[in-house]
Structure 1
Amino acid sequence: MEIRQATSPQEARHLTTEELRERFLIENLFQAGQVTMVYSHYDRMVIGGAFPTSEPLEIADPDTLKTDYFLERREIGFIHVGGGAAVIEADGVRYELTKLDALYVGKGTESVRVSSADSANPAKLYFCSTLAHAVYPTVKIALENATPNHLGTMQACNERTLYQYIHAGAVQSCQLMLGVTILKEGSIWNTMPAHLHDRRMEAYLYFDLHQDARVFHLMGQPSETRHLVVANEQAVISPNWSIHSGAGTSNYAFVWSMAGENYTFKDMDIVAMSDLK
């Protein structure tokens, strides 16, 4: 597991493009036959990708976490982002996921294994794991059972639907919140006007982008914005002090996940357009 240290906003002002990418962009999450994980010191979120091919893969890293099993003190949310059907076994209970299905697995689950139902059409599973102090049951969430929020306008090029999977109003967790935003064809902007939430960090996984398409992800303090050029199936770590917005060369989708002190989804501080620089 790769470990990413926290970076202060004062330090971030002076980073080169390459340094900014090294600290905040995760480029190769989905590697055939592997589980890839990044441990962020922002709220100690683990961001990962599993790409099982011929053999099942265990979600585990005792050397990094120093625990007997991965979810000894954690919870985890999976979402299927591509390929054929996936199978997740949580303490021997089997769950099958297809595109945009999600699975929440609670603290105390000792074994989590992922596999592809068809090795000729392997599944891609994105996941985020956060610290947990309470136990909640494992739940599968299909897209049609997520809470939809229709946002934006055609005129502003930001028509999109935000689907909430893991949150207080649906599938309860300890602190993890997770959902998917899907932009309509012809729309390119997400989360603009931008906002901050000092009480939570966030991670984005951009997906369903064409090979030659890119998202220009905006980050940084409102008065010191920077950008990352993001390709398909790449993730961004967004600190609590940073805006998180973006515009694509075409429409796209992204998984958002949050962790931190406050479990209220609407706890955010809107940034006026006049304050962005």
Structure 2
Amino acid sequence: MKIETRQAIDPRHAKTFDTAALRAEFLMEGLFKPGEVSLVYSHYDRLIVGGAVPSKGTLELSAAKETGTPGFLDRREAVLVNIGEAGTVTTGSGTYDLGHRDMLYVGMGDGPLGFSGGHARFYILSAPAHRKLETRLVTIDAAKRVDLGAAETSNDRSIFQFVHPDVMESCQLVVGMTTLHGGSVWNTMPAHVHDRRSEAYLYIGLPEDARVFHMMGEPGETRHLVVRNEEGILSPPWSIHCGAGTASYTFIWAMAGDNVDYKDVDMVGMEDLK
């Protein structure tokens, strides 16, 4: 298992970054390596983001010194998303079969975690928790679907809410998935910020030669990152987060912070973007 630590970056500091520095601090590459568990420990709300690709045999996630606890989930909750073919996750309380794009919420203390499935690819999200909640599998068919946007504005999309107050209870993780329909490329525009929560993005479903231009930064000081398939973004509370792709795509969004109110955002007017 490999863990990389990312420090929190002040927006005044971020203004001085060139492209290489922005990518080093906010872009997450190489999360899905065959036969490995790869994690990024972020000082934004202590989010842990990563991937597990069992490919051959079983991979285990039982402990990480960065959490300061004997077990990885002793003081944490987690959400595991299968972005590959069918796979299996074992927890302290049971075994769960995940199909493509299903999500498993794992409550505090329900470790260790085991990952198996020769063609499964597991996206890992974790945040500190304050109490134990029941581990629960939410399939994509059981997620709450919200359709937004229009083809005329290139943002016709479906939002699937998995770990969300309208579907189930969590301590602080809120996780879902947004799929852009054919011909649409924009997500989350007009933009917003939520100063009370950090967010992580994972872009999936992109052709090999396609890219997403992920927009970030303060509303009056925007930047962009060029992102490939299965690469992630750490989005600070002070930053907008939206993007446009050269082809349609899906992204998994995850939030952690002061509350679980999905609609607790500060909208940014188009006239305020620079």
User: Normalising by the residue count of structure 1, what TM-score does the alignment of the two structures yield?
Assistant: 0.97
Correspondence list, 1:252-263, <5 A: 252-263=249-260
Aligned residue pairs, count = 272
**Counterpart residue number, 1:89:** 90
What amino acid maps onto 1:32 in structure 2? P
Maintained 8 Å contact 2:201/2:233: yes
Residue 269 (structure 1) aligns with? 266
Cα deviation per residue 1:120-175 (whole Å; 9 max; x = unaligned)?
Answer: xx211112100000111000001111011101011000000011000111121100
Cα separation, 2, equivalents of 1:199 and 1:129 = 17
Classify the secondary structure of the residue corresponding to 1:172: coil
Consecutive unaligned residues of structure 2, counting only runs of 5 or more, are: none
User: In the alignment, which residue of structure 2 is the partner of 1:179?
Assistant: 176
Percent of pairs with identical residues: 47
The answer to whether structure 1 residue 203 and structure 2 residue 205 are counterparts is: no
* 1:15-51 alpha-carbon deviations (Å, 9 max, x no partner): 0100000000001100000010000000000001111
Work out the CA distance in 2 between the residues paired with 1:241 and 1:59: 31
Match of 2:13 in 1: 11
CA distance in 1, matches of 2:94, 2:182: 38
Runs of at least 4 residues off by over 3 Å: none
Task: Tell me the CA shift for residue 110 of structure 1.
Answer: 2.8
The 8 Å contact of residues 92 and 111 in structure 1, kept in 2 or not, is answered as: no
CA contact (8 A) 2:88 2:95 kept: yes
Letter in 2 for 1:91: G
Amino acid at match of 2:90: E
Could you list the per-position Cα deviations for residues 252-276 of structure 1 after superposition, in whole angstroms to 9, with x for gaps in the alignment? Answer: 0000000000210100011000000
Distance 1:6 1:61 in 2: 23
Note if 1:155 corresponds to 2:152.
yes
1:120-139 residue pairs with structure 2 within 5 A? Answer: 122-139=119-136
C-alpha deviation, 1:61, in angstroms: 3.6
User: CA separation in 1, counterparts of 2:164 and 2:145?
Assistant: 12
Deviation of residue 92 (structure 1)?
5.2
Q: Summarize deviations over 1:203-247 as a string: whole Å, max 9, x none.
A: 000000000000000000000000000000000000000000000
Q: Distance in 2 between matches of 1:25 and 1:62?
A: 22
2:4 corresponds to which of 2, 5, 30: 2
Matches within 5 A, 1:50-61: 50-61=52-63
- Confirm whether residue 32 of structure 1 aligns to residue 34 of structure 2: yes
Deviations 1:41-82 (A, max 9, x none): 000000011111112111234322221110000000011112
Q: Is 1:105–2:95 an aligned residue pair?
A: no
The one-letter code sitting in structure 1 at the alignment partner of 2:23 is: R
- Give the TM-score taking structure 2 as reference length: 0.98
Unaligned runs of 5+ residues in structure 1 are none
Asked if the contact 1:211–1:232 (Cα under 8 Å) also holds between the matched residues in 2, the reply is: yes
* Distance across 2 between alignment mates of 1:106 and 1:202: 20
* 2:23 aligned counterpart, secondary structure: helix
Residue matched to 2:75: 73
Alpha-carbon contact 2:63-2:70 (below 8 Å) kept: no
**Counterpart Cα distance in 2 of 1:62 and 1:47:** 13
CA distance in 1, matches of 2:14, 2:24: 12
Task: Give the structure 1 partner of residue 234 of structure 2.
Answer: 237
SS at match of 1:145: coil
In the TM superposition, residue 13 of structure 1 has moved relative to its aligned partner by 0.3
Cα deviation for residue 93 of structure 1 reads 1.1
Let me know the Cα RMSD of the aligned residues.
0.8
For residues 169-218 of structure 1, what are the alpha-carbon distances to aligned partners after superposition, in whole Å with 9 as ceiling and x for unaligned? 11211000000000001000000000000000000000000000000000
Q: Which SS does the other structure have where 1:110 is aligned?
A: coil
1:23 to 22, 25, 29: 25
